[in-house]
Structure 1
Amino acid sequence: MITHIVMWTLKDTAEGRDKAANAAEMKARLLALPAKLPLVLDMRVAEGQEIFAAVPATDLVLYTTFKTKEDLNAYAVDPLHLEVVEFVKKVVAERRVVDFES
């Protein structure tokens, strides 16, 4: 099992919206992916008040699991995922990622 965690700090404003609106939009777009990409075993997204302790400050956290490293690699280049990534790049100020085998 491969666990993929991404933590983002969002820009105060981007794409004509404030940070909270962009966080909600990111969360909705991300959570729509597992229904379309069966190689995603589990996906959870926490935002704002749901994040208890993150240093540096984090606005959104993605927790995803995959059966294999190859599945994670396929997810990374899937056009549906890349469509979400294009939006994310416009609204994110900082990104941190960790992947590990569990």
Structure 2
Amino acid sequence: MLKHIVMWKLKEHAEGADRAANAREMKRRLDECAHIVPGILKFEVTLAQPGLEATYDVVLYSEFENKAALEAYAKHPTHQALVPFIGAIREARQCMDYEVPAGQQ
């Protein structure tokens, strides 16, 4: 299994909207990717919550059967359609992919 975690810090204002509105729109668009290819085991998008510590605005936590499933997700047209929007509204991005050996899942 492969875990794919991405965090985005958004600009205060971009694409005619403020940070909060862009975060909600980004979550809506990412949520549409939850079942676009076989091999997605878990797909969770969340926004920073008031009253809880957060240094980033949007987080994607996902699990894939294998690297091929993650690559299929990344190349899928639904995912690719997000790239320009996210690129326009993000200030920073952090990502980490890692494999979890069988038996440790």
TM-score between both structures, scaled by the size of structure 2: 0.86
Displacement after TM superposition at 1:38 (Å): 3.3
Instruction: Check the 8 A contact 1:34/1:41 in 2, yes or no.
Output: no
Q: 2:84 aligns with which of 66, 83, 86?
A: 86
CA drift at 1:48: 1.7
Deviation, structure 1 residue 89: 0.6
CA distance change for structure 1 residues 91 and 2 in 2, over 3 Å: closer, same or farther?
Answer: same
Supply the distance in 2 between the matched residues of 1:71 and 1:101 (Cα, whole angstroms).
Answer: 13
**Could you tell me which residue of structure 1 aligns to residue 49 of structure 2?**
49
2:59 is aligned, of 58, 61, 82, to 61
**Number of positions where the alignment pairs a residue of Structure 1 with one of Structure 2:** 100
| Aligned-partner Cα distance in 1 for 2:51–2:36 | 26
Cα pair 1:8 1:94 within 8 Å, conserved? yes
Question: Which one has the largest radius of gyration?
Answer: 2
Would you tell me which structure has more helix in proportion to its own residues?
1
Shift of 1:90: 0.8
Counterpart-to-counterpart distance in 1, 2:35 and 2:58 = 20
Specify the alignment match of 2:103 in structure 1.
none
Please state if 1:9 is matched with 2:9.
Answer: yes
In the alignment, structure 1 segments of 5+ residues that lack a partner are none
Alpha-carbon distance in 2 for matches of 1:74, 1:52: 34
Query: Kindly, what percent of the aligned residue pairs are identical?
Result: 43
CA RMSD after TM alignment: 1.7
Deviations 1:2-21 (A, max 9, x none): 10000000000011000000
